[in-house]
Amino acid sequence: MDSPVFAAETLGLTKRYPLAWKRRVVVALNKLDLQVRPGEVFGLLGPNGSGKSTTIKLLLGLIRPNEGEARIFGLGPDDLEARRRIGFLPENPYFYGFLTGDETLQFFGKLCGLRGAKLTARINELIDLVSLQNGRERPLRSYSKGMLQRIGLAQAMIHDPDLLFLDEPTAGVDPQGSAQIRDLILRLKKMGKTVIFSSHLLEQVQEVADRVAIFSLGRKVLEGSLDDLLTEKEATLVSVPGELTDARRDELERLLAQSGFTGANVQFSRPRLSLEQLYLRTVEAERQP
């Protein structure tokens, strides 16, 4: 039986940087084995310097491993056929400041072999998708951080790739923009695209990722689906609408005790909104006409 073709796969991938002047070697990534299936949204988590960006750069062929190999849809990262199927948004993206939004997308589109009416139609489509109508004729040097992130997403998608690498896509973006990027990732998932992204915003990762890998000091220390990793198998949470009066609470405690649940193991609490949910709800309510 043929082995399945993963959207991205690494086998024992290792990257070391020698520090000649300190006579030591920094291991940026240590023997990473990772498989991302087509159509999955995969989150790379970890503190700064844990190996997330190194993993992405190795998968893109921007840097070369000391050991192991990386494969994109079964091909080496240097293979142009593999590159045709990937899109990349780097961390804190900088583009040519002298180009306008339209010129930037034309430049990247032409690099991917798009021309003429097809390219124009694709640019129009992406400008609508990332809501950047007001930036089409402006040079990128006048863009805000959020606008740069959005043009970055548009250029990553210009050739309609099957696999997207997003390195800290929400870094420095306001919660509104951050939520738009989250929605976009969900939309890409619905379209059957594979998305591999790194982020520090754990709540956002939780909202969009099917699976995550947690990195620390260049090593993958945990990997799995969010359902598996986050479900507390030792407890069950019951939610009821409205406020629980003392009388009702006593009644519930009695019922639970009859079933054998007593003492400190039984807890009552009120569900809380996340700060992001509160912010978005408030700002969006203000914007309603």
Partner 1 sequence: MIGRILVIARNTLLEAVRQKVLNVLLLFGLVMIAASSYFSQVAIDQQIKFVKDFGCGAIGLIGVCIAILSVAQLLPQELHNRTIYTILAKPVRRSEFLLGKFVGVVLLLTLSVALMSIAFAAVLWWQETQGLAAVQADYVHTPGWGKSPELTNMYQHDVAQIVNQVRDPQMVEAILLIFAKLVMAAAMAMLVSTFSTSFIFTVITTCGIYLIGHMESAARDVWLSHGAQATFGQGLFLEMLSLLVPDMNSFTIVDEILDGNVVPWWHTWNLLGYSAVYTGVLLALSELIFEFREI
Residue 94 engages partner 1 in binding (rule: CB under 8 A): yes
CA distance linking residue 155 with residue 196, whole number of Å:
16
Site string for partner 1, 151-170 (x = CB under 8 A): -x--xx--x-----x-----
Q: Which residues of 171-194 are buried (b: 16+ CB within 10 A; e: fewer)?
A: bebebebbbbbbebbeebbeeebb
Q: Which is nearer to partner 1, 83 or 211 (CB)?
A: 83
Residue 142 engages partner 1 in binding (rule: CB under 8 A): no
**Exactly one of 46, 51, 65, 87 binds partner 1 (CB under 8 A); which one?**
87
**Exactly one of 95, 143, 197, 215 binds partner 1 (CB under 8 A); which one?**
95
Sign of CA dihedral 199, 40, 51, 94: negative
Q: Which residues of 67-104 are buried (b: 16+ CB within 10 A; e: fewer)?
A: ebebbbbeeebeeeebbebbbbbbeebebeeebbbbbb
**Exactly one of 60, 126, 163, 213 binds partner 1 (CB under 8 A); which one?**
60
C-beta separation of 237 from 230 below 8 A: no
C-beta separation of 278 from 171 below 8 A: no
**Exactly one of 28, 43, 50, 83 binds partner 1 (CB under 8 A); which one?**
83
Give the interface size with partner 1 as a residue count (CB under 8 A): 31
**Exactly one of 39, 61, 68, 172 binds partner 1 (CB under 8 A); which one?**
61
CB of 164 to partner 1, least distance (A): 11
Residue 86 engages partner 1 in binding (rule: CB under 8 A): yes
Residue 93 engages partner 1 in binding (rule: CB under 8 A): yes
Q: Which is nearer to partner 1, 79 or 223 (CB)?
A: 79
CA distance linking residue 114 with residue 135, whole number of Å:
21
Q: What type of residue sits at position 213?
A: A
- Pairing of β 24-36 and β 8-19: antiparallel
Q: Which residues are near partner 1 by CB under 8 A?
A: 57, 60-64, 80, 83-84, 86-88, 90, 92-96, 98-99, 107-108, 110-113, 152, 155-156, 159, 165
